[in-house]
Structure 1
Amino acid sequence: MDDALHEMTATRLRDLLRAGELTPTEVADHYLSRIERANDGLGAFVSVTPEAARERAAHLERDTRDGGDGPAGRGVLWGLPGGDKDLWLRAGVPARFGSRAFAGEDAVVAPVSDEIVDVLDAAGMVSLGRTTAPELGFPAYTEPLAGPVARNPWDPSLGAGGSSGGAAVAVAAGLLPCAPGSDGGGSVRIPAAACGVVGLKPSRGLVPAGSGQESLGGLVVDGPLARTTEDTALLLEGMLTRTPDGRVAHPLTLRAPSARAGEYLAAARRGEVAGSGGEDVQGRFRVAVTTDSAWDDFYAITTSDEARAALDAGVATLTGLGHEVDGLSLEPDPTYGPAFRTLWMAGASAVPLDDPARLDRLEPLTRWLIGRGRQVPARELAEALRALTAFERRLVAQVSRFDAVVTPALAMTPRPLGWFDPEDPERNFEQQCQYTPWTSMLNVAGLPAITVPTRWTDDGLPMGVQLIGRPGGETTLLALAAQLEDRLRWADRRPPAW
């Protein structure tokens, strides 16, 4: 069975682990072996921690034997391998944040882990190491000068997107069955789309350990990446801290509506959502389609032929499934571009680096963001936040008229390594917005969104669509994604790097 473990879905592995037909050690060893063979060529992991992973797997097994109630009671991700994004802290493990400024002796070795790491541990996941991220998570591509570069498994001369680029590569190449990431402007959805896997950005406030409420402007939320919709829902369930009665335990007053325990998995498994009485409802959803972007009034945004073909493929499938599909023109907002740039730079200003020598080790884009951010007056930031709050209200109102809104996932095919200008930060930022114009506006609005592949180009590259939901609308997005997957069968495809 071991030779075929990486062919299995995360949900299938979970079932075999719970049944006692596999052990966490067997699964960890299999994936560690795959990482050892393939990681140098793909750059999915910046560091691998085999000893700690095996010790953790053995601990899960001992704990189950000693507890006597079996693995089913040990968390929804019990025994599944995963990875910590290199922006997160795990106690005792050096964190470099994709930056030369934190290399060598300057790496951060924290005495305690970040909350999301603790939550995934509590759910039973076994971390195999740290997945690659770009410098401090700011770029939409994962090519840090500190290394390694995350290479696209479909064509290693191309990038994997970012900032959860290493996580997406690991999932697409079969080095992990699923992987957690974080998304501040598209950082789960962009690499998922570039690598041909599923990526979900939850509603602001849904995932307690990565709710968005701790970040400036409420942008950054944690979310799952996986090959299948069901696996995506499984990992989402594991990222939710629940009370004994199944409710999501929220430490803050603002929270998104959350499903009952297991409801996300049910939606992803059956392509249905629960009605008000708890019954399963498939029926027809009302879906809108748009290529309008919040960046249209600031940068020249062009939707490539490949992006349009992927959108057409997704829309045709939704239409064939019987859904009501309409067009949608988003209201233009010339304030969005300047306000978002101000917010992004202001967020960068808080990076805890003041030593000029270490600041000089930063890449030009990051140094520019931090430098500009530290010059932003308080009044300008307040005005930007006010403008983006008004934008959020308008976008939520437009989206909420529908069960889901569909856009292209990316405006272009996965970009060649080195395509984003390494020396001109202004041009670099513009390129990122042109590559992925439909993602950041959903972080601003706090809306849930999922990207799924819908077709492959003649060159064998994945392209897909983004489904946007109402606030708290994850079950509908997972149901629609499951229906698309049932028709399009994207998980049956394997990249050459597999």
Structure 2
Amino acid sequence: MDDALHQMTAARLRELLRAGELTPTEVADHFLTRIERANPALGAFVSVTPEAAHERAAALERDGASDATHRRAVLWGLPGGDKDLWLRAGVPAGFGSRAFAGDDAVVAPVSDEIVDVLDAAGMVSLGRTTAPELGFPAYTEPLAGPVARNPWDPALGAGGSSGGAAVAVAAGLLPCAAGSDGGGSVRIPAAACGIVGLKPSRGLVPAGSGQESLGGLVVNGPLARTTEDAALLLEGMITWTPEGRVAHPLTLRAPSARAGEYLAAARRGEVAGGGGEDVRGRFRVAVTTDSAWDDFYAITTSDDARAALDAGVTTLAGLGHEVDDLSLEPDPAYGPAFRTLWMAGASAVPLDDPERLDRLEPLTRWLIGRGRQVPARELAEALRALTAFERRLVAQVARFDAVVTPALAMTPRPLGWFDPEDPERNFEQQCQYTPWTSMLNVAGLPAVTVPTRWTDGGLPMGVQLIGRPGGETTLLAIAAQLEDRLRWAEVRPPAW
């Protein structure tokens, strides 16, 4: 069975682990061997921690043997990875940056909350997945190394900032992986690597709710090969009360789904109806290629992106869903306001030493430098403009069960395509590559990217499904229906 473990879904692995047909150590060893063989060529992990993984797996086995309830933890025994922007107690963190390399790496005495939550759900961390410098770029090519290479073509990038996590999942080095998304950082690499990437509603996942970040942008979410696996990991990332409700530390009320409902929606392509019945039924879906960046940059939807959108929309129509066109209201204030907010967020990076600042890549140094020059009034005006944008976008999306856009405007970009020396041009290229993602972080809306077709050159392209606030179950149900028709998890990259 061991040779086939990476072929299995996370959900199937969990079944075998719970039944005692596999042990956490067996599963960890299999994936560690996969990582040892493939990671040098793909750069999915910046560091691997086999000794800690073995200790963790053995502890889970002891607890599971003495008390079977331990094996009921949502992610019990499943291998995962820590994004290189997250702190795990005692493990050096480099944040994809030469400014935090070697002796300047951060070794924290306590872990970040998301790491503790994944541990509590029973996951076994195998190491740190690669991220770009401080998580700012939409690509994962840090000068500090390693570069995350696309498993469909290693000459291409994997997207970012959860690029290493996406590569690990797409190449079968992990069954699923957690990431963070501040402007598309889960959805972009998922789309580039041909897997599922889910950005939850602001406030759903307590460890990374979005409320802690400036402008409410950054939330944590799952990456997986199947919709069901994405839902399973999402369940594990949420802290549930004994009554099945989200145990939320903030005043914001989390969406009302109960424990198990996300997984159920992904498995059956259904959502719970008002009377408690399961409704596969038909949804009202809108389609748009409008972007919040249209009034600021020249945004072009490539033929490959349109073909992927057409493939997704045709499938949805064939499933019986009502499909409408949607024109989003233009907002010239969005581009300048988002740039101001992104730069202001960068200004808080805890680096003041000039020598270490000089080690930063040009894009990061530009963002931090410009951010530290933003006046308080300009930031306040930007936040006000983005709040107004949020209200308008939520109102437009709320008329539908889901809104569909292309996932990316272009095929995965060649390594080095984003200008390494001109930060202004680099930022523009990122927005042109992925124009439909950041606006959903601003609005706090849930969204999932899924692959819908492969180009003649064998590259994955897909669509993004946008939901109402708290509409994850509907998005998972629609994604599951698409997967049932398109069978994307059965298409494997050459690197597999």
Normalising by structure 2, what TM-score? Answer: 0.99
Report the 3-state secondary structure (helix = DSSP H, G, I; strand = E; otherwise coil) of the residue aligned with 1:430.
helix
Do the aligned partners of 2:248 and 2:254 also contact (CA within 8 Å) in 1? no
| CA deviations over 1:264-311 (Å, ceiling 9, x no partner) | 000000000001222101111000000000000000000000000000
Report the 3-state secondary structure (helix = DSSP H, G, I; strand = E; otherwise coil) of the residue aligned with 1:179.
strand
Report the Cα offset of residue 246 of structure 1.
1.0
Report the Cα offset of residue 71 of structure 1.
5.6
**CA separation in 1, counterparts of 2:327 and 2:278?**
32
| CA deviations over 1:191-245 (Å, ceiling 9, x no partner) | 0000000000000000000100000000000000000000000000000001111
Do the aligned partners of 2:246 and 2:254 also contact (CA within 8 Å) in 1? no
Do the aligned partners of 1:18 and 1:72 also contact (CA within 8 Å) in 2? no
**CA separation in 2, counterparts of 1:309 and 1:96?**
39
Report the Cα offset of residue 68 of structure 1.
3.4
Do the aligned partners of 2:312 and 2:463 also contact (CA within 8 Å) in 1? yes
| CA deviations over 1:471-497 (Å, ceiling 9, x no partner) | 000000000000000000000011000
Between 67-76 and 395-404, report the one with greater CA deviation: 67-76
Number of the residue aligned with 1:389: 387
**CA separation in 1, counterparts of 2:33 and 2:168?**
13
- The runs of at least 4 consecutive aligned structure 1 residues that moved more than 3 Å come to 71-74
**CA separation in 1, counterparts of 2:254 and 2:473?**
12
How many residues matched?
Answer: 495
Report the Cα offset of residue 259 of structure 1.
1.1
| CA deviations over 1:70-116 (Å, ceiling 9, x no partner) | 26644100000000000000000000000000000000000000000
Report the 3-state secondary structure (helix = DSSP H, G, I; strand = E; otherwise coil) of the residue aligned with 1:452.
strand
**CA separation in 2, counterparts of 1:213 and 1:361?**
30
Report the Cα offset of residue 322 of structure 1.
0.1
**CA separation in 2, counterparts of 1:358 and 1:103?**
10
Q: Which runs of 5+ in 1 are unaligned?
A: none
Report the 3-state secondary structure (helix = DSSP H, G, I; strand = E; otherwise coil) of the residue aligned with 1:200.
strand
Q: Which runs of 5+ in 2 are unaligned?
A: none
| CA deviations over 1:382-405 (Å, ceiling 9, x no partner) | 000000000000000000000000
Do the aligned partners of 1:449 and 1:467 also contact (CA within 8 Å) in 2? yes
Do the aligned partners of 1:83 and 1:130 also contact (CA within 8 Å) in 2? yes
Do the aligned partners of 2:151 and 2:171 also contact (CA within 8 Å) in 1? yes
Do the aligned partners of 1:93 and 1:110 also contact (CA within 8 Å) in 2? yes
Do the aligned partners of 2:18 and 2:72 also contact (CA within 8 Å) in 1? no
**CA separation in 2, counterparts of 1:76 and 1:184?**
26
Do the aligned partners of 2:265 and 2:271 also contact (CA within 8 Å) in 1? yes
Number of the residue aligned with 1:349: 347
**CA separation in 2, counterparts of 1:320 and 1:167?**
33
Number of the residue aligned with 2:437: 439
Do the aligned partners of 2:132 and 2:161 also contact (CA within 8 Å) in 1? yes
**CA separation in 2, counterparts of 1:436 and 1:335?**
19
Report the 3-state secondary structure (helix = DSSP H, G, I; strand = E; otherwise coil) of the residue aligned with 1:465.
strand
Change (3 A) 1:366 1:29: same
**CA separation in 2, counterparts of 1:412 and 1:277?**
43
| CA deviations over 1:419-440 (Å, ceiling 9, x no partner) | 0000000000000000000000
Report the Cα offset of residue 141 of structure 1.
0.0
| CA deviations over 1:423-471 (Å, ceiling 9, x no partner) | 0000000000000000000000000000000000000000000000000
**CA separation in 2, counterparts of 1:423 and 1:462?**
29
Report the Cα offset of residue 406 of structure 1.
0.0
Report the Cα offset of residue 256 of structure 1.
3.2
Do the aligned partners of 1:447 and 1:471 also contact (CA within 8 Å) in 2? yes
Report the 3-state secondary structure (helix = DSSP H, G, I; strand = E; otherwise coil) of the residue aligned with 1:441.
helix
Do the aligned partners of 1:256 and 1:471 also contact (CA within 8 Å) in 2? no
Report the Cα offset of residue 255 of structure 1.
3.1
Do the aligned partners of 1:23 and 1:61 also contact (CA within 8 Å) in 2? yes
Report the 3-state secondary structure (helix = DSSP H, G, I; strand = E; otherwise coil) of the residue aligned with 1:222.
strand
Normalising by structure 1, what TM-score? Answer: 0.99
Between 257-266 and 106-115, report the one with greater CA deviation: 257-266
**CA separation in 2, counterparts of 1:412 and 1:304?**
6
Identity of aligned residues (%): 92
**CA separation in 2, counterparts of 1:71 and 1:492?**
33
Report the 3-state secondary structure (helix = DSSP H, G, I; strand = E; otherwise coil) of the residue aligned with 1:159.
coil
Report the 3-state secondary structure (helix = DSSP H, G, I; strand = E; otherwise coil) of the residue aligned with 2:207.
helix
Do the aligned partners of 1:286 and 1:325 also contact (CA within 8 Å) in 2? yes
Do the aligned partners of 1:99 and 1:146 also contact (CA within 8 Å) in 2? yes
Do the aligned partners of 1:224 and 1:232 also contact (CA within 8 Å) in 2? yes
**CA separation in 2, counterparts of 1:421 and 1:73?**
48
**CA separation in 1, counterparts of 2:47 and 2:21?**
30
| CA deviations over 1:356-386 (Å, ceiling 9, x no partner) | 0000000000000000000000000000000
Report the Cα offset of residue 69 of structure 1.
3.3
